Structure 1
Amino acid sequence: MLKIAICDDEKYYRDYIKRLLTEYMNRNQIESCIDLYENGMQLFEQGIKLAKYNIIFLDINMEELDGIKTAYKIRKFNPEAFIVFVTAFINYVLEGYKVDAIRYIMKDSIPISLVECMNTIVKKMKILMKKMSFSFIEGEKQIFIDKIIYVESQKHKIMFKVLEGRINTYSLYDKLDNMEERLKEYGFLRIHKSYLVNMKYIEKISNYRAYLSSDEILPIPKQKFQLVKEAFVLYKGE
């Protein structure tokens, strides 16, 4: 069951988004529980209970505790939730990156944007639960695709960096081209002839480098930089 929170200080939008979400869930036969909050403080007061939510819709322009500040506080309890900003303004994009918001929905285009947003989230959630089997040199192993940070080509082997509480490394004999074909539909991007990166773990792309949340910095060739940057922006949904 998907657990969703909607936080908006205008009752009209709380009820409107809930109705559209309920219709979406019914069409797609997805069980859900939707809670409504009148302001950011009321939502934040849930404390550790915030961890139960899979998706949180936040109005940006709220009094006392706006959507951006609320999102920062939410991340302390729930780093994995999909945060969706609902706003009449588009000048908060950079702040949204910092809290890893998946989408901005403009209030004048909610019906269309919400469907696209939910389709993206549902697809990503399916990926979160999907495993893939690999015949590593270290032995046969099933890995959650979402936990692969990146794959690196080293001579005749490819090395997997996998987040499993800590970052573990596994290797197998194969070509990175073959692995790119297997993983490209799951949000992986070939940023370099030697690197295939899960875009979920890219924090920013700048100065011909990809900065990862694992504190690693990977090079991007000058001739590929613009294409890589555009693909990353598209992935982020901007």
Structure 2
Amino acid sequence: MLQIAICDDEKYYRDRIQTLLAGYLKKRQLEYAITRFLSGEDFLSRRENIVQYDIVFLDISMNAIDGIETAQQIRAFQSRTEIVFVTAFFSYVLEGYKVNAVRYILKDTLDTAVEECMDAILRKRQLRQVSFSFLEGERRLYTDNILYIESRKHKAVFFCLDAELVNLAIYDKLDHIEQQLEGYGFLRIHKSYLVNMKHILRISNYKAELDVGGELPVPRRRYQSVKEAFVAYKGAL
């Protein structure tokens, strides 16, 4: 299910964007949930909002905390969310590049731009799918939704953002899974843990802190190389 947030201080545009998104997603028979926010402060009032949405439509010109600052706070914690700026002005494009916004939509082009934007996002997400033969059957997963994989005896257990994908398990070695996920931003921080760097908030004191809460151990002998790999990854974003 796609989790989408709309953050705009004008009701007309909240309503319009929601209507366009609902029509687009229903036509493609995609499951979704849309949550609306009245301001940047409203969105940021709950810390989990920073990490739980797949797509966030942000009005740039809002009082107090504007769309740019809201996007910066999202990016400070994780990079999984697709950020779409919506504005009446064309003077903030450079700021959009700084936070890796997927699109910059002018409000007078919503009727055509929302569909094109969603097409681009879905193409991008489709490219980040991988398939595994779990004990529960064959499943395709978005790599961004995988938090980490833990090796337990002869099984590898997947921990995912989606509550419906709890503890998916597969009989396979972590070395093999690491090869399958090469190029998707996963890091072997421990002989028993392969972690999605998109969900690592920081690495310090021999631990990897996740953006959704919780920590995983980083052994002393791996610590320096793990930290260097994470710093290089963050610098490449």
TM tier, smaller:
0.5 to 0.7
What does 1:26-65 align with in structure 2 at a 5 Å threshold?
26-65=26-65
Matching residue of 2:68: 68
Aligned residues: 152
Shift of the alpha carbon at 1:143? 2.6
Shift of the alpha carbon at 1:125? 0.9
Distance 1:142 1:29, change over 3 A: farther
What does 1:196-235 align with in structure 2 at a 5 Å threshold?
215=235
Matching residue of 2:186: 164
8 A Cα contact 1:48 1:77, kept in partner? no
Shift of the alpha carbon at 1:73? 1.0
1:119 is the counterpart of 2:119: yes
Shift of the alpha carbon at 1:139? 7.7
Q: Secondary structure at the match of 1:58?
A: strand
Shift of the alpha carbon at 1:76? 2.7
8 A Cα contact 2:85 2:104, kept in partner? yes
Letter in 1 for 2:46: Q
- Unaligned 5+ runs, structure 2: 133-174, 190-231
Q: Deviation above 3 Å: which 4+ runs of structure 1?
A: 138-142, 212-216
- Unaligned 5+ runs, structure 1: 133-137, 149-161, 168-211, 217-238
Encode CA deviations 1:153-194: one digit per residue, 9 max, x unaligned: xxxxxxxxx632269xxxxxxxxxxxxxxxxxxxxxxxxxxx
Encode CA deviations 1:96-154: one digit per residue, 9 max, x unaligned: 1111100001101001011000001011111111369xxxxx9897534xx52xxxxxx
8 A Cα contact 2:4 2:35, kept in partner? yes
Matching residue of 1:109: 109
Q: Which has the higher contact order (CA 8 A, sep 6+)?
A: 2
Matching residue of 1:91: 91
Q: TM-score, normalised by structure 1?
A: 0.58
1: CA distance, partners of 2:26 / 2:8 = 23
2: CA distance, partners of 1:49 / 1:42 = 10
Distance 1:14 1:215, change over 3 A: closer
8 A Cα contact 1:86 1:107, kept in partner? yes
RMSD: 2.5
8 A Cα contact 2:50 2:73, kept in partner? no
What does 1:7-22 align with in structure 2 at a 5 Å threshold?
7-22=7-22
2: CA distance, partners of 1:66 / 1:49 = 16
1: CA distance, partners of 2:90 / 2:105 = 9
Distance 1:97 1:213, change over 3 A: farther
Q: TM-score, normalised by structure 2?
A: 0.58
Matching residue of 1:143: 180
Letter in 1 for 2:2: L
8 A Cα contact 1:131 1:143, kept in partner? no
2: CA distance, partners of 1:103 / 1:130 = 25
